[in-house]
Homo-oligomer: A and B are copies of this chain.
């Protein structure tokens, strides 16, 4: 039952604090796959992977450390935040069902409340009401306005105290599918073309339901300074090939082509398999046919 967790901490500047968060999260059976800190946002994103109970333990210790070392009363940064541990999404990987991640979110939320005295809001697939599905609607208040916001009866947390933690605020704990950051550069210097393509492709303005898209300028790439920047939020339903084929078609309306693409950060193996299936017409191709995966799954299955 392999699970990814991508906790966001409100600290992007002090290396010693980041190191302490890493040390707290490191457990024998939890892998720290990455930590990226942004000093402007004053925020860090950690990527962990492991099995359920091990991950919950790692996150509990990392959150305890965050509460000891981060005081939001002194925190400034350009990214919205309501807590020292701000957001904790669980993400199913390999063949783990979403329901397992939802259960982990509830379990961790309960422990954040009872052991750390943190108010917890369950969001997205772990949400207990429709109003809390969208993270933006859960994290409406900055830390500074949190006490007032939480006083509204409809804003009671799912776990923990009904008032903010004095220095650590509140936390959103959720479960969601993996998100793929997929960008395509166009053979044009005209940002309006990228804007039109992004508008056509994204779900919110009539395009593909699982795609969020924006036009971005990338001036450091002199030859191709214009990009369609996408987030695929449900890659099993709206796949990378579906998104890219639509970008290609819409760009062609303006005489532009895709010149190259990139994936930022991680993506699930299944997204790569599905891309191969789509373009190679590989109808019945399964993850078990990937030699390394079979080896790794067998080997880890033997662990005590």
Contact = CB atoms under 8 A, between A and B. Distances in A.
Interface string A237-252: 0001100100000000
Interface of A: 2, 4, 28-29, 31, 33, 49-50, 93-94, 178, 184, 240-241, 244, 258-263, 265-269, 272-273, 275-276, 278-285, 289-296, 298-300, 302
Contacts of A280: 240-241, 244, 261, 275
26 contacts: A2-B292, A29-B299, A31-B294, A49-B294, A49-B295, A50-B295, A93-B291, A94-B292, A240-B280, A244-B280, A244-B281, A261-B281, A262-B283, A262-B284, A263-B285, A266-B290, A266-B291, A268-B292, A269-B290, A269-B293, A272-B273, A275-B279, A275-B280, A276-B276, A278-B279, A296-B296
What's the dominant secondary structure at chain A's contact region?
A: mixed
A298 B2 CA distance: 13
Contacts of A302: 28
A2 to B, nearest CB: 6
A272 B275 CA distance: 9
